[in-house]
Structure 1
Amino acid sequence: MSLNRLLRGLGVFPVSLGLGLFTVPVVEARDWNQYSVCVTQLQKFNVSGDNAAIACSDALIPKELSECVSMIGNATPIDGNNSVNACFQVRRPIDLGNCVADIYNAVPSLATVDPDTDTEEINLLTLLNSCRTSSRPGFYSECVIATAREVTDMDPIRAMDICLSAQDFPRSLFPAYNE
């Protein structure tokens, strides 16, 4: 009797599993194409279709390029074209996007605007370029955030310079390495 019940249970299982497969949503082929995703995302941040197509086709991993631009575009007012150029020039675009977004959100004085000059744009481009130049964007953003917060009257641009120069090999500590 228990064998009969077991066999009936096994027979029902494949039927219920098979019916479950029909509930999977149908996804269009273009949704799986990382180049399509990349171009679409870049265009959302005012990158022209031609520039988006060129950037995505040349990118090593197009989804990471577009994710980097999206992270920067969602967190800052940085122009999409500037973001594409920076994200394209690094090995780890996601780290660059995190670096820019983290510093911008944590250091409010970066967004201050001087009515006589376009200070905000200069600060934002400096932020973008310093994160791009950094060899370790995650540690760099932590350094900038801590330095700007903890040191009284520290200009955020000065904090970026200090943290960027700290990543260089300390030749003064190891003079024999200079040879």
Structure 2
Amino acid sequence: MLLLLLLLLLLLLLLLLLLLLLLLILLLLLLLLLLLLLLLLLPLLLLLLLLLLLLLLLVLLLLVILPPPPPPPPPPPPPPPPSPPPRLLLLLLLLLPLLLLLLPLLLLLLLLLPLLLLLLLLLLLLLLLLLLLLLLLLLLLLLLLLLLLLLLQLLLLLLLLLLLLLLLLLLLHHHPHHSQ
């Protein structure tokens, strides 16, 4: 009886472990879905960043190109016209290294981020496979415990039958002596 109770407790514990593993698998699937969403959203976010940078550059260029409202100048000295182009050229010369630095970085991000997310997805898939293997092992353990339960019951039945046979033999052996 104690053995049967212990085996039943083990079965209950294994069932609880199976439930926990199923919950873990569900959580990992949710993480996979979130990562796929990130994979879809990341290029859009990078494009938005690029557009924002371009807008900032355009605003800076407009600020440089458009001259400030000049005060009424005296008529005799003619102002030199090539004064705005140097400012524009200076700004372009200042912004070109920044652009040359930013564009490769953004391209690298565009290339590397999906690769990193794919690696994460592969790792999560491996974890899922491991959890499925654990589930299979637990199911095998459950089956083994059920088989052990059945074998124990059969052994108990056999023992009972043997005891009954021994009792019958003893009774049969004891009765003829009395008759003599």
**TM bucket normalised to smaller:** under 0.3
As a proportion of its length, which structure holds more helix?
Answer: 2
* TM-score normalised to structure 1 length: 0.22
Q: Give the structure with higher Rg (CA).
A: 2
* TM-score normalised to structure 2 length: 0.22
